[in-house]
Amino acid sequence: MRRALTAMARAIYPARCMVCDTYTDAPGGLCPSCWQDTHFISGSTCTTCSTQLPGEVTGAQCDTCLSFPPPWQRGIAVLGYEGSGRRIVLALKRHDRLDLAPTLSAWLTRAAAPVLAQTDIIAPVPLHPSRLARRKFNQSAELARPMAELAGVAYIPDLLSRTRKTESQQGKDRIERHENLKAAIAPTPRHRAMLEGKQVLLVDDVLTTGATLSACTEACFAAGAQNVNIVVLARVEPRREIPIFAATNVKD
121/184 same-domain check: yes
Better-predicted residue by pLDDT, 3 or 28: 28
Together in a domain, 24 and 55: no
pLDDT digits (tens, 9 = 90+) for 106-156: 999 999 999 999 999 999 999 988 888 888 999 999 999 999 999 999 999
Indicate if 105 and 148 belong to the same structural domain: yes
Query: pTM of the full predicted structure?
Result: 0.85
Provide Rg for the chain, Cα atoms.
19
Q: Which has more pLDDT, 210 or 139?
A: 139
Give the pLDDT score at 76.
97
What pLDDT does 235 receive? 94
Do 18 and 119 lie in one domain? The reply is: no
Model confidence pLDDT, tens digit, residues 72-89:
999 999 999 999 999 999
Same domain, 50 and 15: no
Q: How many domains does the chain have?
A: 2
The confidence score (pLDDT) of residue 113 equals 95
Lowest mean pLDDT of 30-44, 95-109, 164-178, 181-195, name the range: 164-178
- Do 5 and 112 sit in the same domain of this protein? no
Does residue 77 sit in the same domain as residue 120?
yes
pLDDT at 174 over 50: yes
What would the mean pLDDT of 223-242 be, rounded to a whole number? 85
Higher pLDDT, 3 or 172: 172
**Judgement on whether residues 23 and 56 belong to the same structural domain of the protein:** no
Query: What CATH number should be reported for the domain holding residue 52?
Result: 3.40.50.2020
Average pLDDT, the chain: 85
pLDDT band at 167 (very low <50, low <70, confident <90, very high): low
pLDDT for 246: 46
8 and 121 in a single domain? The answer is no
* In a shared domain, residues 166 and 53: yes
Question: What pLDDT band is residue 250 in, cutting at 50, 70 and 90?
Answer: very low
Task: Check whether residue 141 and residue 223 sit in a common domain.
Answer: yes
Q: State the residue range of the domain holding 7.
A: 1-37
